[in-house]
Structure 1
């Protein structure tokens, strides 16, 4: 949530008045260069917010660029303990955000999705793990329709291509509009949910600079992780220094195959035509209490792989068939749609 002091505007004055007297419980600096707040140490005893309003910009994850343009160097993340806030003043705050010219860059901005939260609050994030990008097919619509809204903005992070994609021309053959074989499969599928093509934004590994990539991620509320090579996807995420911004992401994460696997802290790779050996790899680390077996077809190799993976740390393994998927809510609860099996010591193939 990005709030800019505009004292010439009546809504801005009301916003400043609303904040006066509130106390910051926690401040997290977000300078690109890692600088400190100029000579100030607001973390000790709380800090009166009005003293920070002079030429300051306050942001929360994701919505920083969404509402008022790009954050300036020197912006800070502001987290207030909402239990101390007066409800009538909160209403003034919401009115300010809904009144022009405050919301100038995002018609879809919903203040209810970007409330100031307690200082120890974790990012609010939903996860969808599947095998296929065909989210507009009948078998999965009912499970996903409550998570995808017509006003959403989608960021497609297509970093999962194999090593034979070596340059922009190769990348375009896979993902470029009007040319790429995977473009429509990852764009048109959102149309059933009411989104338009202009709401689906692709990160280009070969042409976008790192700041552009970060902005695309932060400005979305749906992050799409494509299928392909999970280990290479993680390698490129680290190369582009995107892991931190991904870890802090708020919204809905949808991952297909490799994009499902890297949502985990650790994931196993069962041997197939692309990976000749069983392997363990590190993911982004959003989820850590289970493992997945993607493209589950009840094969002997997959059953052996799940037994080997389960023996490592006894985490349940969700075996997701082609028409199957799972949803992990912000509180960690899980729901399933289509064909999914839970592999543990009670599974009939355990120990086989």
Structure 2
């Protein structure tokens, strides 16, 4: 499996496209699992469409347009609707997909909705390309941390999909004291590398045993390493 962990919405940007063209192909089928929304923002189908709907959804173009840059037709891109798609339909779409994309938002709520649709095993058996932006990046880690922000006021560890196990990820890194304190805590408590992806300028590509840092990714290691 290939993992693309993004800290930029437009992954067709110049510093990524040459590398990602080796993986993202015009014939690919893409499934976007739009399950990461805030409960305060979405209460019904109408709210969901306001964020993700094809006709003017706030995030639709940002999620879909970069795939078009790689030659994938819009007809090959399917955004999963939590309100209208059934778990069995979604599981079948995932089995047919070449790329699964996890949007940004709330990673813990995204995983809860994945489990509500009983999709965990389907995702764990997926052998294509897993892409994710922000929350959709950390979700791919067996365990991730979140430094305090407006959505998560306290530092905490969370369980993600048990796939990537060798590092932690600090997304939207701006070098703030809060972020640096969180990184140091992870280094002390978990004794693993922390990759800090700088906002809008970075991505991590993992292809089997090979990890490539693309753009501006800072690397923090425990003192023992």
Global fold match (TM > 0.5) = yes
2:161 matches 1:276: no
What is aligned with 1:132? 8
Match among 19, 35, 47 for residue 159 of structure 1: 35
Q: How far off its partner does 1:305 sit?
A: 0.4
Over alpha carbons, which structure has the higher Rg?
A: 1
Coordinate RMSD, CA, aligned? 0.9
Give 1 or 2: higher strand fraction.
2
Partner deviation per Cα, 1:254-312 (whole Å, 9 max, x = no partner): 11000000100000010011110001100011100111000000111000001111222
1:295 partner SS: strand
Query: TM-score w.r.t. structure 2 length?
Result: 0.96
| Residues 203 and 216 in structure 1, CA contact (< 8 A), matched pair in contact too | no
What is aligned with 1:144? 20
Segments of 5+ residues of structure 2 without an aligned counterpart are none
Superposed counterparts of 1:1-352, under 5 Å: 125-164=1-40, 165-322=42-199, 323-330=201-208, 332-345=209-222
Distance 2:193 2:52 in 1: 34
Number of paired residues? 221
Tell me which of the two structures has the higher relative contact order, counting C-alpha pairs closer than 8 angstroms and 6 or more residues apart: 2
Segments of 5+ residues of structure 1 without an aligned counterpart are 1-124, 347-352
Distance 2:173 2:31 in 1: 27
Distance 2:219 2:70 in 1: 29
Query: TM-score w.r.t. structure 1 length?
Result: 0.62
